[in-house]
Chain A
Amino acid sequence: MISVPVGIRKRTEVGRLLVFVAAATASAATVGAITGWLGSLVLRITPELHFYSLIGLAGVSITYGTAELHSAKWRVPSRTWIIPKRWALLGNVPFAFAFGSVLGAGFLTIITFIGYHVLLISCFSLADWRVGGELMSIFGLARALPVLLTPITYSRFGMYDAKAALQADQWFTKVQGRLWILRSMTLFAMAGSSIAALTR
């Protein structure tokens, strides 16, 4: 989707990649900041909602964490839309910006892991726009980085190779398949810290 920064247009392509990463990070940070700000507004009026959001966090984290251990794919509330491949034909800076923004926001595209919802509920219950923005910017950055994997690899070799592209894709799928343990651990840790917050 993002072209390869090699040859005479290298500088332009690197610029596009940076626009993409910045847009994804900023978009995610905006979503987190708005959620945190909404949380501060709502929790000021109804403080008891904080208690219920923590219970919800703990429950969701334990159930989905166990499902991850079982390699069970439970339904995650999400849109089914993915960024159309034809967008890549535009291939300019506005495309990189739009692609990054849509990807970073998260809720506009398909989400397969419950962690996104857990993060948003956490931003809401933390009721701090700055912390919410910072947390979600990590999500945006982490979501943007794998897209850069292929261009960065090719920039080292100075050429595009379809076979290597396929291999990179297979490698990434393999790594993702092994991420279940980290997903489960972080969800369980989330459950533990939510219950600790409940007892405070």
Chain B
Amino acid sequence: MVLLRLVLEKISNRSGYLGYNGSFHIGLALSFSIALIAFATNAISPNLQLVNLALLAAVTGVSSMSSP
């Protein structure tokens, strides 16, 4: 991740692209990689979808609580 960030920052500095938002692009690249992995693993074993759903349920639960 650190290496990827460094490479992206280097490219953006060299190209002079002022609107570059490193964290967004890294996040997007990571997210699409995860979507791809999820696609591949679910195509092999459909039960893995339940693991993903369980994770989503936990994240949703914690995110839905505004304050302790």
Contact = CB atoms under 8 A, between A and B. Distances in A.
Interface string A156-200: 000000000000110011001001011111111111110111011
A140 B61 CA distance: 6
Nearest to B30: A185
Interface in A27-81: 62, 65-66, 69-70
B contact patch SS: helix
Given A188-B31, A189-B34, A197 B61 contact: no
15 contacts: A69-B24, A82-B66, A112-B66, A118-B56, A118-B60, A145-B65, A176-B66, A184-B31, A185-B31, A186-B55, A187-B56, A193-B38, A193-B42, A196-B43, A200-B43
Interface of B: 24, 27-28, 30-32, 34-43, 46, 48-50, 52-68
Nearest to A123: B53
A138 interface: yes
A contact patch SS: helix
Contacts of B58: 138-139, 142
B22 to A, nearest CB: 12
Contact of A69 (B27, B35, B50): B27
A91 B4 CA distance: 52
A144 B24 CA distance: 31
Interface residues of A, number: 56
A179 B56 CA distance: 12
A200 B62 CA distance: 32
A65 B60 CA distance: 13
Interface stretch (A9-17, A93-101, A146-154): A146-154
